[in-house]
Structures are given as C-alpha cells and as structure tokens.
Amino acid sequence: MNRKEKIVFLESYGKAKNKFEYLNSKLHGTASINYDQVRSTSNKSLVDRLQERDEAYESMLLAWLELDKVIKEYPLLCYKYQFLEADYKICELYNINMKRYKEVLNQQIDQLDI
C-alpha cells in the first residue's frame, strides 16, 4: 500500500466514530421526537434508527480493533488516529515542533505493514 491508501485506512476509525456519534445524537436529540401526526415515507421508524445506530457502533468497534492490531507500536499514530488528538496537542505532549512531528509521522506511516 502507498502512503495515501494507508492514511485512508488509518482514518477509517475516526470516520466510523463520527458517524456513530452523529446517529446517536440524532436519536437522542429533541428533533428526533415526532410531535405531529403527519407521516412521510422518507422518515425512518425508531427501530430503523436504532438499528442504523447499532450498525454504526459495530463498525466503529471493528475499525478500532483493526487499527489497534496495526499501530500499537507507533505512539504518534495511536494519538492521531486512535485517540483522535489534534496535531498541535501531540506536538505539545512530545515537546517537538510541527515539522519534526510531520517527519516522524510520515516515517511511521511508511513503516506500517497493512
């Protein structure tokens, strides 16, 4: 795999987590309650929304497990793609500048065997 394909794989957990959080908040938000009696064929039932949220949760967990197998030896990749930390926070944590951070991050991505 080239670097771009590896990055797409690494970002899969973040995308799955965002999808789950969106569906979960949509389900629990006040906008999810139907106050009027007008029904449309495009609206999903509560069971369909619950099932969609549960499927998103399952895909999020599977993405986490796949990612954990691959990157547990690479701490920068863990912070960026598993814990979804911002780049500047990782730089502060390791006390390095952004240029050095990008160099190390690219080295670790290149060393990955996916």
Domain ranges within the chain, ordered by starting residue: 3-33+46-111
Q: What is the pLDDT of residue 113?
A: 86
**Distances from the Cα of 103 to the Cα of 6, 71, 76, 86, angstroms:** 16, 17, 11, 16
Q: What is the pLDDT of residue 41?
A: 54
Q: Is 26 in contact with 49 (CB distance < 8 Å)?
A: yes
Nearest-angstrom CA–CA distance, 100 and 104:
6
Q: What is the pLDDT of residue 55?
A: 95
Nearest-angstrom CA–CA distance, 32 and 22:
12
Tell me the pLDDT of the chain (114 aa) as tens digits. Answer: 899 999 999 999 999 999 999 988 888 775 555 555 455 556 677 888 889 999 999 999 999 999 999 998 999 999 999 999 999 999 999 999 999 999 999 999 999 987
Q: How many other β-carbons are positioned within 10 Å of the β-carbon of residue 66?
A: 14
